[in-house]
Chain A
């Protein structure tokens, strides 16, 4: 059976296929077709058929991921959407949280809401915080609103009533009424996509979901038809933001769950790499052209955020949404990051990027400012004759000239200027990697660093050394790792609910009941009669009484107050360096993860017959290891020709078509039986 993934990015659509029986790998790349991305997806399938002999009829598992949803939202390509809400809170969506994160900007504005005031309608009704009905929903109001919605010609309606997380009956009644009156309009209720409190965040969630739902539904229908035409007739899945997959129908029901579909594929892949290595704690790091992303996996599970903020930055609150998204920290440090010296002599690298157009100076497409890639070229790490598998010849002289211009302003020669850029880029990356570990209470020394992306392996060795990571691993297909990771994802659903009780003996029975209800919903979600094929992970949101923020605490299957409390004290101590044993504990929420057990991608065992160190070595190159060590001779190897298990001492360079792995003096690397490159410090085991 062939497993096939396509990852639609901003510029390119990637394809990766893997034949479970033969171990054959299929890969292809084509330009993303902006107007209708499904064409680009089919283009890659055609390309793989031509180049690698892919037989679409043999595909038994197909997954689609990428930027389809997030682009529709950020480019404002959704439909005309209205909001129906509780009387008195018409402007909550526009007020947002009223923060000014850009403190000293006296002209700051909150980002504009996706539904303008004229399309925000109020209805008389009220549910209390305990779920009781304080005021019945007003029928006349519903009729008036239905007429107005019709007159305005909206295509989608989002419904948010206060406290619907505690009792959704009014939202459901309103949805039923409006569906009846407006049969061709998409109607979304907040409680269907989030059972969490906080009315603004839930409003935003349901509004954005409604905004893209009609177009995403149409997109998946179209893609399905095209896939069937192309004889890919197996079950079709979409990559979600939570590290799992869902059927096209499930994805169309709640498209906002696809908001970080691409990066989440990479995280799912890192979890899988951890499984191959028997490693529970993985720090995943991916360096692209413009940004680097890192994510932490603890106990074999990715961390899933409860509050993801679209378009967030230090200067903008962005748009918070309550959908489960793997915890990814993104920084403006990538291969294309531009280095500059300001008028006061300060050097900065990024966040501005030369992107793919004009790209780094060495691409010769018109870039004039030196970038991280130029620095890697000038320190000998990148081979100018074998970049992108030899498809692009890099212009070393142009890069050198640009670098020397920058160096003059710093009083440094070319290689020291390049090294300065790399040191700064690395420092930014280290800060981000520490943010996802140390600031969350984890010690990087307990982690295996899994590095991917076209730019990642160039930095992997020195990042691993700086962080004191256990070891550094470069998976195969590092350049298109998100697509590979999508083949490692299982059907998954995250059921989350705001739910209050003081932790104690009396809380257990109602908690069991809530969990049972959630388990049943999950079973129904997967269309199963029983939950035999499902695995569940239960986490509770817990806090000490008086606190506001809760700590997500994984609890075992057997629920008893004492062991829940123990887990919580430990989790609190990990996260915040202290616990308050003896203080009352409150439950504020339940998070149930359900996964449908199903086979995922395996790694073929490398056949080492005929592979020797000598045939793997392609040459020798000088690499600059900083001012102290200077230029050192490094052996260069071809990754695919390295015999499994052979230890190679640094300094060394391991080349493959999409990237190069740098091994420093004092480190060793081996390609293991699964084809993973494993870098360790000499003397470590």
Chain B
């Protein structure tokens, strides 16, 4: 009697749990290899990469990411590649794509894709996306903050086959080498990425041998379906209703005016619709994000709501619908620049967060410093070697209904992202860190619970003609307070000129040449407060006074403190 094979075959829960555990080990192993072999600090320190496996239907089955920016971006990217090649995918193929207008994020994020087969049957895809330090374009690092077109943002390899029969196409490699300022680092990252998808193929191969393609693909489906069930159950418990939020983005890098954005969220039964209709068209500068990046922005906050600690897969997002017309600031199209897309996408995330925060205080805090506050320092060291130092800065997070906000954490868009060790930096780059502590001067949003503190980080420049570039959001509009808490403080960076001591303050700066002795001061804001400041506990104010986190004057004026 012939055996009926269906992908809907029920997988027993034990086998399913075991297979899921093995899949998590696979992506973990990919991440370990990536982090340890990459030559680029953005990857090994900032963990600006993600690894994952999608099933034969291009749905995400398992993912590991060190940052939230890649939450759920794999499947849209993969679909664009599969649509291009259709039936022409074979075992041993490797694809590369970095196109923000085809599911990608920005040109610096290179995705490597490996289809995995059993015989001639395609069963899965292994993916790795990583931020490359330089992919050509107008400036070192490929992200001119005043770009007005994607053609200034470097090489775009849109859905390209990089290998056939596991033989890498040297011509494509040459294109890459010839279009980056740092070819050795690029090759290091490319090799590392390829190594990770090959390891995934080996491991999935071992699982295929053991479980067979039918059981494995059925398990993929069951993992996704299980998460979808849980996600819908969580949504059903939320109060139906329409939730709205508005916010302001401070400048786009080309123009500095306020950009008003908004969201409308409808929760009905087990469905959530997030609607960005009414947001402005794509702006001139590069803080736009493409539709793929918007997906990840919303999914990050959605994940925080339904299952913050569970491993990511497509199922969690089944109840979510995202509506946004084409061509807006959050759905930019070619050739709108998207280099600093995370400055735009984080504001999309925050709109969702802000709309829901006071309705779900157990999951959400008040507004945070939000912007990744990235600066670039580049130039030549004493030995004449070219360097680029890219650094996101940590800042203050919002308070919540029962505790003060967190100090000096990385923004929502990143995640397991380390700050740079001062000692490591000084041994490597011609800079000296003069100060790295809490931004007590800027302060935080007061409240029954106060926001967390941002940081101040001073770089003394040790080499003439060092270039500074940076783009900080929330330089005018501070993090929002919630439930009667006050707003936090703003982000900015300053240049203090050697000799004259002249100070210039910036939100977004395309380029400035620095001389030896100049100081770059990076300042990140404090988070918003939660609840009426008059209700803050006396011992909490005493503790802040003792720790020199607040002045007596401020304690009196913000909290009505009566001690001395």
A101–B226 touching, CB < 8 Å: no
Residues on A with C-beta less than 8 A from B438 are: 91, 94-95
The answer for the CA separation of A163 and B407 in the assembled complex, in Å, is: 25
- Interface size class on chain A is 35 or more
Q: Does B149 contact A (CB under 8 A)?
A: no
- Given the known interface contacts A105-B309, A346-B226, the answer about A428 and B21 at a Cβ–Cβ threshold of 8 Å is yes
Measured CB to CB, the closest approach of chain B to A106, in angstroms, equals 5
Chain A residue nearest to B230 in the complex (CB): A344
Residues on A with C-beta less than 8 A from B25 are: 431, 434-435
Q: Does A165 contact B (CB under 8 A)?
A: yes
Measured CB to CB, the closest approach of chain A to B354, in angstroms, equals 11
- Given the known interface contacts A99-B416, A197-B421, the answer about A106 and B364 at a Cβ–Cβ threshold of 8 Å is yes
The answer for the CA separation of A96 and B409 in the assembled complex, in Å, is: 9
Residues on A with C-beta less than 8 A from B374 are: none
- Given the known interface contacts A88-B435, A106-B412, A129-B426, the answer about A439 and B28 at a Cβ–Cβ threshold of 8 Å is yes
In chain B, residues 5-40, which have Cβ atoms closer than 8 Å to a Cβ of chain A? Answer: 13-14, 16-18, 21-22, 24-25, 28-29, 32-33, 35-40
Q: Does A345 contact B (CB under 8 A)?
A: yes
B37–A439 touching, CB < 8 Å: no
- Given the known interface contacts A104-B308, A106-B304, A438-B29, the answer about A163 and B419 at a Cβ–Cβ threshold of 8 Å is no
Q: Does A501 contact B (CB under 8 A)?
A: no
Measured CB to CB, the closest approach of chain B to A375, in angstroms, equals 12
Q: Does B188 contact A (CB under 8 A)?
A: yes
Q: Does A548 contact B (CB under 8 A)?
A: yes
Contact of A578 among B37, B40, B68, B434 (CB under 8 A): B37
Chain B residue nearest to A572 in the complex (CB): B37
Q: In terms of DSSP, what is the predominant structure of the interface of chain A?
A: loop
Contact of B423 among A88, A98, A162, A439 (CB under 8 A): A162
Contact of B68 among A103, A134, A438, A500 (CB under 8 A): A103
- Given the known interface contacts A91-B437, A346-B17, the answer about A98 and B409 at a Cβ–Cβ threshold of 8 Å is yes
B436–A578 touching, CB < 8 Å: no
A576–B36 touching, CB < 8 Å: yes
In chain B, residues 439-473, which have Cβ atoms closer than 8 Å to a Cβ of chain A? Answer: 455, 458
A105–B308 touching, CB < 8 Å: yes
B230–A546 touching, CB < 8 Å: no
Contact of A347 among B17, B35, B230, B408 (CB under 8 A): B17
Measured CB to CB, the closest approach of chain B to A183, in angstroms, equals 27
Contact of B437 among A88, A100, A162 (CB under 8 A): A88
Measured CB to CB, the closest approach of chain A to B467, in angstroms, equals 21
Q: Does B400 contact A (CB under 8 A)?
A: yes
Contact of A98 among B18, B28, B33, B408 (CB under 8 A): B408
In chain B, residues 369-418, which have Cβ atoms closer than 8 Å to a Cβ of chain A? Answer: 394, 397, 400, 403, 406-410, 412, 414-418
What 1/0 mask marks residues of chain A from 81 to 120 whose CB sits below 8 Å from any chain B CB? Answer: 0000000111110111111111111111110000011100
Q: Does B138 contact A (CB under 8 A)?
A: no
In chain A, residues 537-564, which have Cβ atoms closer than 8 Å to a Cβ of chain B? Answer: 544, 546-549
Q: Does A310 contact B (CB under 8 A)?
A: no
Residues on A with C-beta less than 8 A from B433 are: 88-89, 162
Residues on B with C-beta less than 8 A from A423 are: 14, 18
Residues on B with C-beta less than 8 A from A578 are: 37, 191, 195
Chain A residue nearest to B304 in the complex (CB): A104
Measured CB to CB, the closest approach of chain A to B407, in angstroms, equals 7
Residues on A with C-beta less than 8 A from B328 are: none
Residues on B with C-beta less than 8 A from A108 are: 397, 406, 409
Q: Does B338 contact A (CB under 8 A)?
A: no
Chain B residue nearest to A421 in the complex (CB): B14
What 1/0 mask marks residues of chain B from 96 to 133 whose CB sits below 8 Å from any chain A CB? Answer: 00000000000000000000000000000000000000
Q: Which stretch, B167-175, B283-291, B544-552, touches the partner chain A?
A: B544-552
Q: Does B476 contact A (CB under 8 A)?
A: no
Q: Does A478 contact B (CB under 8 A)?
A: no
Chain A residue nearest to B225 in the complex (CB): A344
Q: Does B1 contact A (CB under 8 A)?
A: no
A117–B421 touching, CB < 8 Å: no
Chain A residue nearest to B425 in the complex (CB): A129
The answer for the CA separation of A107 and B304 in the assembled complex, in Å, is: 10
Measured CB to CB, the closest approach of chain B to A481, in angstroms, equals 27
B455–A95 touching, CB < 8 Å: yes
Q: Does B238 contact A (CB under 8 A)?
A: no
Q: Does A606 contact B (CB under 8 A)?
A: no
Q: Does A348 contact B (CB under 8 A)?
A: yes
Chain A residue nearest to B187 in the complex (CB): A580
- Given the known interface contacts A423-B18, A548-B45, the answer about A102 and B407 at a Cβ–Cβ threshold of 8 Å is no
Residues on A with C-beta less than 8 A from B427 are: 129, 197, 500
Measured CB to CB, the closest approach of chain A to B541, in angstroms, equals 14
Chain B residue nearest to A440 in the complex (CB): B32
How many chain B residues touch the partner (CB < 8 A)?
82
Measured CB to CB, the closest approach of chain A to B153, in angstroms, equals 24
Q: Does A199 contact B (CB under 8 A)?
A: yes
Contact of A199 among B184, B418, B422 (CB under 8 A): B422
In chain A, residues 130-171, which have Cβ atoms closer than 8 Å to a Cβ of chain B? Answer: 134, 162-163, 165
Contact of A549 among B29, B36, B195, B303 (CB under 8 A): B36
Between A99, A109, A546, A575, the greatest number of chain B beta carbons within 10 A of the residue's beta carbon is seen for A99
Q: Does B516 contact A (CB under 8 A)?
A: no
Measured CB to CB, the closest approach of chain B to A115, in angstroms, equals 11
A118–B17 touching, CB < 8 Å: no
Q: Does B199 contact A (CB under 8 A)?
A: yes
Q: Does A198 contact B (CB under 8 A)?
A: yes
B410–A98 touching, CB < 8 Å: yes
What 1/0 mask marks residues of chain A from 653 to 673 whose CB sits below 8 Å from any chain B CB? Answer: 000000000000000000000
Q: Does A424 contact B (CB under 8 A)?
A: yes
Contact of A89 among B226, B394, B437 (CB under 8 A): B437
The answer for the CA separation of A341 and B394 in the assembled complex, in Å, is: 40
Residues on A with C-beta less than 8 A from B422 are: 89, 92, 162, 199
Q: Does B41 contact A (CB under 8 A)?
A: yes
A199–B408 touching, CB < 8 Å: no
Contact of A547 among B39, B230, B307, B432 (CB under 8 A): B39
The answer for the CA separation of A118 and B550 in the assembled complex, in Å, is: 12
The answer for the CA separation of A92 and B407 in the assembled complex, in Å, is: 11
Q: Does B242 contact A (CB under 8 A)?
A: no
A100–B409 touching, CB < 8 Å: yes
Residues on B with C-beta less than 8 A from A546 are: 39-40, 184-185, 188
Q: Does B3 contact A (CB under 8 A)?
A: no
Q: Does B239 contact A (CB under 8 A)?
A: no
Q: Does B217 contact A (CB under 8 A)?
A: no
B309–A104 touching, CB < 8 Å: yes
Residues on B with C-beta less than 8 A from A548 are: 39, 41, 44-45
The answer for the CA separation of A348 and B436 in the assembled complex, in Å, is: 44
Q: Does A420 contact B (CB under 8 A)?
A: yes
Between A92, A98, A347, A580, the greatest number of chain B beta carbons within 10 A of the residue's beta carbon is seen for A98
The answer for the CA separation of A107 and B364 in the assembled complex, in Å, is: 6
Chain B residue nearest to A428 in the complex (CB): B21
Q: Does B236 contact A (CB under 8 A)?
A: no
Q: Does A128 contact B (CB under 8 A)?
A: yes
The answer for the CA separation of A108 and B416 in the assembled complex, in Å, is: 12
A577–B14 touching, CB < 8 Å: no
Q: Does A616 contact B (CB under 8 A)?
A: no
Instruction: Identify 8 residue pairs between A and B in the complex whose beta-carbon atoms are under 8 Å apart, listed by A's number.
Output: A89-B435, A99-B410, A101-B415, A104-B307, A199-B423, A344-B233, A427-B21, A547-B39
15 new A-B contacts, CB < 8 A, other than A438-B29, A577-B195, are A88-B437, A91-B408, A95-B394, A96-B408, A97-B419, A100-B409, A103-B415, A104-B308, A106-B364, A162-B433, A199-B421, A344-B229, A347-B17, A546-B188, A549-B36
Which 10 residue pairs are nearest across A and B when measured between Cβ atoms? Answer: A98-B394, A117-B547, A546-B39, A88-B435, A104-B308, A103-B415, A91-B437, A129-B426, A427-B18, A104-B304
On B, residues with C-beta under 8 Å from A are 13-14, 16-18, 21-22, 24-25, 28-29, 32-33, 35-41, 44-45, 65, 67-68, 184-185, 188, 191, 195, 198-199, 226, 229-230, 233, 300-301, 303-304, 307-309, 353, 363-365, 394, 397, 400, 403, 406-410, 412, 414-419, 421-424, 426-427, 432-438, 455, 458, 546-549
